[in-house]
Amino acid sequence: MTQTIAYDYIKMLLEQEFISIYLRFLNQGILHYELTNIIELCAPLLEGLDEDLRYEVLGTIAIYLKEE
Phi-psi region of 29 (alpha: psi -120 to 50; beta: other; left: phi over 0): left
> Please, which pLDDT band fits residue 54 given cuts at 50, 70 and 90?
confident
Phi-psi region of 50 (alpha: psi -120 to 50; beta: other; left: phi over 0): beta
Is residue 38 within 8 Å of residue 14, measured between CB atoms?
yes
Task: Please state the domain count of the chain.
Answer: 1
* Neighbour tally for 35: CB within 10 Å: 19
Tell me the pTM. Answer: 0.73
Range of the domain at 44: 3-67
pLDDT: which is higher, 48 or 22: 22
Kindly tell me if the per-residue pLDDT of 31 is higher than 90.
Answer: yes
Kindly tell me if the per-residue pLDDT of 19 is higher than 90.
Answer: yes
Q: What does the pLDDT read at residue 51?
A: 66
pLDDT: which is higher, 40 or 3: 40
